[in-house]
Amino acid sequence: MKKLLILGGGTAGTIMANKLNKALDKEAWDITIVDREKTHYYQPGFLFIPFGIYNKQDVEKPKANFFPPGVNVIFSDIDKIEAEENKVILDGGRVLPYDYLIVATGTHSRPDETPGLSGPNWYKNIFDFYTLEGALALKQFLKSWEGGKLVVAITEIPFKCPVAPLEFVFLAEAFFSEMGIRDKVDISLVTPLPGAFTKPLATKMLSQLLTEKNIKVVTDFYIEKVDNEKNTLVSYDEQEVPFDLLTIVPMNMGAEMISRSGLGDDMNYIPTDKHTLQSKAHKNIFVLGDAADLPTSKAGSVAHFSADIVYENLLSAIDGRPMTASFDGHANCYIETGYGKGALIDFNYETEPLPGTFPLPGIGPFDLLKNTSINHYGKIMFRWIYWHILLKGKELPVESEMTMAGKRKVTG
């Protein structure tokens, strides 16, 4: 029996297990997936929890519900990959040999990487919303908060779902308005980037919205530490931003296991061919989702689109055919902006987010780079699509390759 091993059963690993289970000959192939957690979290839903829009039950389901029968499932911590030997060692010493390996161990919040962050005020007046615990603790805090300085900060680039901090400030603004305390809350977004977002047209559109909503943006601020006595963020060039409530996206890093295996860069991401999605160092290892060092968003949509490419290329490699599928970096992100509205961006390695309609040219129903109600419904529908279609590896009516149809080129 030949062995195909998938490490990580989150968004990307689960999609892959479902796709390959249908395609590989069961007489010849044994498929195994390993994850340490029994619960699958719908991470995009964490954003809505602090504001009471989603509850815990809305974002959790047993992982086992999404793995197809016929795939071996092992719930265990992974100790390391021994790529030269084509085998994986689990915690406790169990050895799993493989012919092909798919690494989908994601990226994780690391508050421990910033001095003072996970200190005495962690979950007192400093929170993250990138974990369920953080989002729930923040919800509790917001119930009785009477206002003050809210700082929403980004520690380091890259981090998963780069639009999430923007969505957070937009939703917070609407939340405080509804609570009747908007005039008592001062909201700022602190970022190491030179603007609200990285791509020029999207930054322009989003900056306008931020100004309209009276949300301040502090740019080029690279956090060195958190001062727990003064309640300030301190940057490497010794500037300070005071806060009463800090909501932070901690440093994101790939799995420690990648570093133990000697396969990662300095942030534990695996150097990956951005078109074939193979590990640069080992041809029989494919890297999918947030674990890869690709120059595109770390997002569920990217995991979904790139799964099609890994699927094609892996089947070609198995058959000894040349690999012809090439990933273009396609990402597609809904951006919640509060008050039942949202924006949508669609882009890839080469093309920045442009205005237009999506997915049907001229028809939509979604509007690119525009703040509309229908885009908000897109985001809300996405949760259903995630659980019922995306994870199961079924086809969505959206091509994995980005299309220019429906987009308007903008000059100047």
Partner 1 sequence: MAQETIAGKNVAVDQEGYLANPEEWTKEIAGEMAKDIGIELTDKHLEVIDYLREQHAQGAQLSIRKVGKSGITDIKGLYKLFPGGPLKHSSKIAGIPKPSSCV
Q: Which of 146, 266, 319, 350 binds partner 1 (CB under 8 A)?
A: 266
User: CA–CA separation, 75 vs 65, rounded Å?
Assistant: 14
* Partner from ligand FAD, partner 1, none contacting 213, C-beta within 5 to 8 A by type: none
| Minimum distance from residue 108 beta carbon to ligand FAD (Å) | 7
The contact mask relative to partner 1 for 121-160 (x = CB under 8 A, - = no) is: -----------------------------------xxx--
* Partner from partner 1, ligand FAD, none contacting 35, C-beta within 5 to 8 A by type: ligand FAD
Q: Which residues pair with 227 in a beta bridge?
A: 232
Q: Which of 3, 36, 61, 392 binds ligand FAD (CB under 6 A)?
A: 36
> Is residue 255 near ligand FAD by the rule CB under 6 A?
yes
Among the listed residues 105, 108, 107, the one whose alpha carbon sits nearest the alpha carbon of residue 7: 105
Query: Nearer Cβ to partner 1, position 30 or 224?
Result: 224
- Edge-to-edge strands of the sheet including 240-242? 223-227, 232-235, 240-242
* Partner from partner 1, ligand FAD, none contacting 308, C-beta within 5 to 8 A by type: none
* Partner from partner 1, ligand FAD, none contacting 267, C-beta within 5 to 8 A by type: partner 1
Q: 401 to each of 96, 185, 295, 351, 362, how far by Cα in Å? A: 34, 42, 16, 12, 19
| Minimum distance from residue 34 beta carbon to ligand FAD (Å) | 6
Could you count the other beta carbons within 10 Å of the beta carbon of residue 271?
Answer: 14
- Edge-to-edge strands of the sheet including 245-249? 126-127, 245-249, 148-154, 185-190, 216-218
Chain position carrying tokens 């309609």: 357
Q: Which of 162, 165, 342, 364 binds partner 1 (CB under 8 A)?
A: 162
Find the farthest-apart pair of alpha carbons in the chain and give their distance in angstroms, rounded.
66
* Amino acid residing at 261: S
Return the residues of window 300-359 that contact ligand FAD according to CB under 6 A.
Answer: 300-301, 303, 333-334
Query: Nearer Cβ to ligand FAD, position 106 or 356?
Result: 106
User: CA–CA separation, 177 vs 337, rounded Å?
Assistant: 13
Q: What is the dihedral of CA 113, 115, 117, 120, to 10 degrees?
A: 130
Which region, judged by CB under 8 A, interacts with partner 1, from 95-103, 137-145, 216-224, 386-394?
Answer: 216-224
Which region, judged by CB under 6 A, interacts with ligand FAD, from 110-118, 157-165, 262-270, 353-361?
Answer: 157-165
Residues of this chain that interact with partner 1 (CB under 8 A) are 156-158, 162, 193, 197-199, 220, 222, 224, 236-237, 266-267, 293, 295-297, 331
